[in-house]
Structure 1
């Protein structure tokens, strides 16, 4: 498997970024995972191929690096240069003592400033973090429902999460996949009209998912053969 095949298998163009590779793999892995497609050899082979392509791309595509901000060290002021060319070049005994006092004061102030800086306080989790935790806990529950073939509960859970996070693309993908999996199960149960409804819902929920579109088209072909 060469580099181009890996990109095509993940539905990406050559040169896709590290984050795009991770996102595409996670989406496709959810769709073809053996736990979601028990007994489906084609889905299992597809999942294995996706994983191999993903691992290979991770070895050749560097992750995005976040630039690190560096602090500039404070500058310490110089002591004034002696007056050359002034009225007199002779220094009185008090002049060195006065200059030394100023330097000591400056150093003391700098040290005090450095030692009195307060350590950063830990901020409480914001709303976005809470939503992300809820999202992934719900995803784990969704996977369990699908694995146990509790499809009505899985659909209800996916729709509730989509209503809470309507702009989240991943949640839409999960919802569409749940529709498609249930539609396929309904075909096997010979509930053809109901199966067609949920397959259409899958396409409407995530219309730009090419891999899902291909799977649903195959399901529609199977429906036509039965009719």
Structure 2
């Protein structure tokens, strides 16, 4: 199930706010809850799908900033303070064909994708990027992220000695972004590693 399917299952648009997502989930969960439908196995299955969709959507939304706390009085420091490093938000290619909502969705999905890749949650990363590619198919940057995600997952599969599956994802990476020379060289290196395992 990809992100687009999750939104459809919860009867939401892809730009729905968190409050709307929670409200729709609660409404549908009450409707299909097994206790409310003890004789209906389809309602039970639908309830399970709703829970999975709700969980995937929540995981794809970046966490909200915590409310600011009252400043505490700090003791006087005698040592020099370290400079604070702030993260710059990523620079995205300007695509005039994207609406403001699509731009926001793209930025949020990118941050979530980075988190999944760093945490090695590759199936979640793939579900997220495939949903985004389905929502914004004309964006070359999204296709590039999709190809990189496939390649990173294939590399992990090589580590796990899942050779055939790794080969499939390497080929998917090349088909998704065939003009990316850097990706080609990385995939070439991964194919060489595959051959050396045999």
Q: Name the TM-score, length of structure 2 as normaliser.
A: 0.50
Residue deviations 1:158-215 (CA, integer Å, cap 9, x gap): 0000000001000000000000000000000000110000000000000000000000
Question: Which stretches of structure 1, 4 residues or longer, exceed 4 Å deviation after superposition?
Answer: none
Question: How far apart, CA to CA, are the structure 2 residues paired with 1:159 and 1:132?
Answer: 16
1:149 is matched with 120
Q: 1:219 aligns with which of 180, 186, 190?
A: 190
Q: 1:169 aligns with which of 128, 140, 146?
A: 140
1:159 is matched with 130
Residue deviations 1:9-35 (CA, integer Å, cap 9, x gap): xxxxxxxxxxxxxxxxxxxxxxxxxxx
* 1:156 Cα deviation from its structure 2 partner: 0.5
Q: 2:177 aligns with which of 206, 210, 214?
A: 206
Residues matched between the structures, number: 102
* 1:130 Cα deviation from its structure 2 partner: 1.1
* 1:146 Cα deviation from its structure 2 partner: 0.5
Question: How far apart, CA to CA, are the structure 2 residues paired with 1:145 and 1:159?
Answer: 14
Aligned ranges for residues 105-184 of structure 1 at < 5 Å? Answer: 128-184=99-155
Say which structure, 1 or 2, has more relative contact order (CA 8 Å, 6+ apart).
2
3-state SS of paired residue (1:175): helix
Aligned ranges for residues 71-86 of structure 1 at < 5 Å? Answer: none
3-state SS of paired residue (1:208): coil
Instruction: Indicate the structure (1 or 2) with the bigger Cα radius of gyration.
Output: 1
Residue deviations 1:24-58 (CA, integer Å, cap 9, x gap): xxxxxxxxxxxxxxxxxxxxxxxxxxxxxxxxxxx
Question: How far apart, CA to CA, are the structure 2 residues paired with 1:156 and 1:199?
Answer: 17
3-state SS of paired residue (2:161): coil
The two structures, once aligned, show a CA RMSD in angstroms of 1.3
Runs of at least 5 residues in structure 2 that lack an aligned partner in the other structure? 1-97
